[in-house]
A and B are shown apart, each in its own frame.
Chain A
Amino acid sequence: MKLFYFAWVRDKMGRDGEQIQLPDGIHTVGEFIEWFKNRGTAEAEVIGASEMVKMAVNQEYAGPSHPISDDDEVALFPPVTGG
């Protein structure tokens, strides 16, 4: 799965993205977040931050029940502040 980070999420992760293999049993955005936050310190900080991160699957906003698979492009980023 292609994973992208933006804004302060990228700063915290120290990279703008990575290619990962989804572990068995991860089929939704909610399950992904649970797994991701337990993967390391930076990940836990990103998910636990007071400003709630958003997720996109294949460049569309996705909630906890949205399905994900290894073929997807997934992104984690803070609430948007353009305009």
Chain B
Amino acid sequence: MIRVQREDFDVGQEINRFSNDKHDIGAVCTFLGLVRDLAGDSIKTMTLDYYPGMTEKELSKIEAEARTRWPLTDCAIIHRYGTLEPGDRIVMVATASPHRQAAFQSCEFLMDYLKTRAPFWKKEDTGDGEKWVEARASDDVAADRWTKSVE
């Protein structure tokens, strides 16, 4: 399940939706990404831009890839766009599987791939002006691990 939306989401509600009518789920793993402000008060707002159409397509491809690698009962990727503040939820990835290893690993895989492939762009407003966040090489390294460790 893929959702790109401006509105906030309720993590508990999203997870409950997974296990409501299914009894073959043994493990649910979730990742929640928040707007952070490491310096304390340097970031006023963060605005997320995306490419309507392509973003959803890329997320669907990433989900499909995860499902070929791990036995997933369910999978959810929710990503917000628009203007957010420190502490706000940006992204949630949740995976459900009969087994915990598959839930853990696929959740991390989905985030690593999302960060390097899904067309989203962050712009930080520090109060002194706006600046587009630059891509990090460490994110590419994290995503590349998965090309070497195919199960």
Contacts and interface: CB of A to CB of B under 8 A. Distances in A.
Interface string A49-83: 00100001001110000000000000101111111
A7 B49 contact: yes
A82 B54 contact: no
A6 B132 contact: no
A79 B137 CA distance: 10
A82 B51 contact: no
A8 interface: yes
Contact of B111 (A6, A79, A80, A83): A83
A4 B55 CA distance: 14
A6 B49 contact: yes
Interface of A: 4, 6-8, 11, 51, 56, 59-61, 75, 77-83
A59 B54 contact: yes
A80 B54 contact: no
B117 A80 contact: yes
B90 interface: yes
A81 B122 contact: yes
B81 to A, nearest CB: 9
Contacts of A82: 48, 50, 79, 90-91, 114-115, 118-122
